[in-house]
Chains A and B, each alone.
Chain A
Amino acid sequence: MCDQTFLAITFGPCDNCSETKPLMNIYVKNEPINYCSLCVERMACQGLGPNETLATLKTESETLKTKLEEERAKLHDAELHQVAEKVEALGQFIIKTRRTLKGHGNKVLCMDWCKDKRRIVSSSQVRPFRWRRHEHAVTMPCTWVMACAYAPSGCAVACGGLDNKCSVYPLSLDKNENLAAKKKSVAMHTNYLSACSFTNSDMQILTSSGDGTCALWDVESGQLLQSFHGHSADVLCLDLAPSETGNTFVSGGCDKKANVWDMRSGQCIQSFESHESDINSVRYYPSGDAFASGSDDATCRLFDLRADREVSVYSKDSIIFGVSSVDFSLSGRLLFGGYNDYTINVWDVLKGTRVSILFGHENRVSTLRVSPDGTAFCSGSWDHTLRIWA
Chain B
Amino acid sequence: MDTISTAENHTEMEQVIVAMQDPDLGIKMKNQRLLITVIPHAMTGNDIVEWLMKKYSIMEEEALHVGDLLVRHGYIYPLKEPRNLVLRPDESPYRFQTPYFWSSQQWPASELDYAIYLTKKNIRKQGQLIDYEKENYNLLHKRINHTWDFVVMQAKEQLRASKQRRKADRIVLECQEQAYWLINRPPVECLTPRLSQRDRGKQSNTKCEHSSRMCPITHITKRTLVRVSGLAFQDGRGVEHLKKALGRSRVKSSICLESFIKYSEQYFSHDPMMHGCPPSNPWITDDITHWALNTNTVSTPTKLRVERWSFRFMELLSDPLGRLKFMEYLEKEFSAENLCFWEACEDIRHGENSRIPQKVSWIPHRQFLAPGASKWVNVDSKTMEKTLEGLRRPNRFVMDDAQMHIYFLMKKDSYPRYLKSDLYKNLLVKAIAPQETKRSVFPFMRRHRHSSPNPALVAQALEEDGKAKRLGSPRITSPATSP
A: residues with CB less than 8 A from B are: 1-8, 24-30, 40, 43-49, 52, 54, 57-58, 60-61, 64-65, 67-68, 71-72, 75-80, 83-84, 87, 90, 95, 98-99, 114-119, 125, 133-136, 146, 153-155, 162, 170-173, 191-192, 194, 199-201, 203-204, 210-212, 218-221, 223, 225, 230-234, 236, 242-245, 254, 264, 268, 270-271, 276-278, 285-287, 289-290, 296-298, 304, 306-309, 311, 316-318, 320-322, 329-334, 340-343, 349-350, 357, 359, 363-364, 373-376, 382, 388, 390
Query: Is A309 touching B222 in the complex (CB atoms < 8 A)?
Result: no
- Chain A residues, Cβ within 8 Å of B218: 1-2, 4, 162
Interface locus among B101-109, B363-371, B378-386, B447-455: B447-455
Closest to A97 in B: B283
CB 8 Å contact bits of B217-245 with A (1 = contact, 0 = none)? 11111111111111111111111011101
Contact B209 A8 (CB under 8 A): yes
Please judge, given known A-B contacts A60-B239, A233-B223, whether A296 and B456 are in contact too, CB under 8 Å. no
Are A25 and B451 also in contact (CB < 8 A) when A2-B216, A234-B202 are?
no
Nearest B residue to A324, CB-CB: B198
Contact B201 A210 (CB under 8 A): yes
Q: Is B413 in the interface zone, CB < 8 Å from A?
A: no
Q: How far is the CA of A30 from the CA of B458 in the complex (A)?
A: 45
A-B pairs with the 7 shortest C-beta distances? A154-B455, A331-B267, A201-B350, A331-B271, A44-B231, A390-B283, A47-B232
Q: Decide if A5 touches B261 in the complex (CB within 8 Å).
A: no
Other than the known A25-B222, A373-B272, A375-B281, what 6 A-B pairs have Cβ atoms closer than 8 Å? A6-B220, A45-B231, A172-B456, A254-B223, A270-B248, A374-B271
A153:B459 contact, CB within 8 angstroms: yes
Q: Could you show 30 A-B contacts with beta carbons less than 8 Å apart?
A: A28-B228, A45-B232, A48-B236, A54-B232, A60-B239, A87-B261, A90-B274, A95-B273, A136-B451, A154-B458, A192-B198, A203-B351, A203-B352, A210-B201, A210-B221, A211-B225, A220-B352, A233-B227, A285-B260, A290-B260, A296-B8, A306-B251, A322-B6, A331-B266, A331-B267, A340-B5, A341-B65, A349-B260, A373-B294, A390-B281
Given the known inter-chain contacts A64-B239, A308-B248, A317-B56, please indicate yes or no for A83 contacting B456, CB distance below 8 A: no
- Chain A interface mostly helix, strand, loop or mixed? loop
Contact A83 B261 (CB under 8 A): yes
Complex formed: what's the CA distance from A137 to B289 in Å?
Answer: 24
Q: What is the CB-to-nearest-CB distance from B22 to chain A, in angstroms, rounded to a whole number?
A: 15
Q: Are A75 and B253 in contact, CB atoms less than 8 angstroms apart?
A: yes
- Taking the closest CB of chain B, its distance from the CB of A349, in whole angstroms, is 7
Which B residues, 261 to 280, have Cβ-Cβ distances below 8 Å to chain A? 261, 263-268, 270-274, 277
Asked whether B261 lies within 8 Å of A289 as measured between CB atoms, the reply is no
Q: In this assembly, does B404 line the interface, its C-beta being within 8 Å of a C-beta of chain A?
A: yes
In this complex, the member of A155, A268, A349 whose beta carbon has the largest number of chain B beta carbons within 10 angstroms is A155
Interfacial chain B residues near A364, Cβ < 8 Å: 2, 4
Given A8-B210, A44-B231, A233-B226: A71 and B237 within 8 A (CB)? Answer: no
Determine if A332 and B454 form an interchain contact, defined as CB atoms under 8 angstroms apart.
no
Is B153 an interface residue when CB atoms closer than 8 A count as contact? no
Contact B66 A27 (CB under 8 A): no
- Complex interface: stretch among B9-17, B175-183, B323-331: B9-17
- B69 neighbours in A (Cβ, 8 Å): 320-321, 341
Q: Is the CB–CB distance between B232 and A44 below 8 Å?
A: yes
User: In the assembled complex, which residues on chain B have CB atoms less than 8 Å from the CB atom of A359?
Assistant: 61, 65
Contacting pair B2 A47 (CB below 8 A): no
**8 Å CB contact of B219 from A192, A264, A322:** A192
Q: What residues of B have a CB within 8 angstroms of the CB of A270 in the complex?
A: 245, 248
Q: Which B residue's beta carbon lies closest to that of A95? A: B273
CA–CA, A329 and B437, complex, Å: 23
Q: Which residue of B lies closest to A154 (CB)?
A: B455
In the complex, the answer to whether A320 meets B226 with C-beta atoms within 8 Å is no
- Which residues from chain A contact B4 at a C-beta distance below 8 Å? 340, 364, 382
Could you tell me if A153 and B228 are in contact, using CB atoms closer than 8 angstroms? Answer: no
Contact yes or no, A78 B254, CB < 8 A: yes
Q: B261 to A84, Cβ gap below 8 A?
A: yes
Residue B123 CB within 8 A of the other chain: no
Instruction: Return A283 CB to nearest CB of chain B, in Å.
Output: 15
Find chain A residues with CB under 8 A from B198 CB.
Answer: 146, 192, 194, 236
Contacts of A285 in B (CB 8 A): 260, 263
Report the separation of the CA atoms of residues A319 and B448 in the bound assembly, to the nearest whole angstrom. 40
B351 touches A118 (CB 8 A): no
| Chain B residues positioned under 8 Å from A24 (CB to CB) | 224
Question: B256–A289 contact, CB under 8 A?
Answer: yes
Contacts of B202 in A (CB 8 A): 233-234, 236, 254, 278
**A2-B216, A154-B456, A200-B346 are known contacts. Are A375 and B272 too (CB-CB below 8 A)?**
yes
The answer on a CB contact under 8 Å between A264 and B6 is no
By a CB distance below 8 angstroms, the chain A residues around B478 are: none
Residues on A with beta carbons closer than 8 Å to the beta carbon of B454: 133, 154, 171, 173
Proximity bits, B35-54, A CB within 8 Å = 1, else 0? 00000000000000000100
Specify which of A58, A311, A334 is in contact with B273 (CB 8 Å cutoff). A334
Q: Are B452 and A28 in contact (CB-based, < 8 A)?
A: no
Nearest CB in chain A: distance from B27 CB, A: 16
CA–CA, A194 and B243, complex, Å: 30
Q: Is the CB of B235 within 8 A of A5?
A: no
Question: Is B173 interfacial (CB-CB < 8 Å)?
Answer: no
- Cα separation A57 to B233 with both chains bound (whole Å): 10
Which B residues lie within 8 Å of A114 (CB)?
455
Q: Report the minimal beta-carbon distance from B94 to chain A, rounded to whole angstroms.
A: 18
What's the least CB distance linking A264 to chain B, in Å? 6
Q: A363 — which chain B residues lie within 8 A by C-beta?
A: 2
Partner of B241, one of A87, A210, A230, A277: A230
Q: Please, how many angstroms separate the alpha-carbon atoms of A64 and B236 in the complex?
A: 12
Check A234 against B223 for contact (C-beta < 8 Å). yes
In the complex, are the beta carbons of B283 and A334 less than 8 A apart? no
Q: In the bound complex, do residue B246 and residue A330 qualify as a contact, i.e. CB atoms below 8 Å apart?
A: no
Least Cβ distance of B373 to chain A in Å?
Answer: 25
B261 and A225 within 8 A (CB): no
Which A residues lie within 8 Å of B397 (CB)?
A: 264
Name the A residues within 8 Å of B314 (CB-CB). Answer: 242-244
Which of B223, B231, B259 counts the most A-chain CB atoms under 10 A from its CB?
A: B231
